Amino acid sequence: MSTPVVHLSRRYSFSASHRLYTDHLSFEENEAIFGKCANPNGHGHNYGLTVTVAGPVDAPTGFVMPLDTLDAIVRRDVLDAYDHRYLNLDVEDYVDLVPTGENIARRVWERLEGDLGGLLRRVVVDETRNNRFEYPAI
């Protein structure tokens, strides 16, 4: 009998601000592309983050992985770095990268994949009720 594989998804949240702009474009070009999100003072979101891992169910515990282990990894690798930060200035991930929802999802994945290894399956970033970014894309 094969060992069952189960997906485990856990939700988190963090608050952060950012500004969508690039130094490669003029102020007017940034404003045309990014609209009000190019405001020089930035703007903030209360982000939702869903992390999905998958693996065999451990027979003795019945877990893919203990929730407190997953929570500790996400807290250390992502939440402690991103929560209540101005992403453009406070987080090294975005020094040369526009902190769009797409890039946030990719960077969160990169931060987690070292500690979650082959278990990590998906990262979902909810920027607003209407904007959701999933990595990797299906």
**What CATH number has the domain bearing residue 84?**
3.30.479.10
29 flagged as catalytic: no
37 flagged as catalytic: yes
pTM, to two decimals: 0.94
Q: Which candidate in 7, 29, 84, 110 is catalytic?
A: 84
Query: Can you give the residue range of the structural domain that contains 127?
Result: 5-135
Rg of the chain over all Cα atoms, to the nearest angstrom? 17
- Per-10-residue mean pLDDT for the chain, 138 residues long? 87 99 96 97 98 95 96 99 98 97 98 95 98 93
Q: Which candidate in 31, 37, 102, 134 is catalytic?
A: 37
- Tokens for 118? 């082959």
127 flagged as catalytic: yes
Q: Tell me, what's the pLDDT at 1? A: 61
Total number of domains in the chain: 1
- Tokens for 81? 């770095």
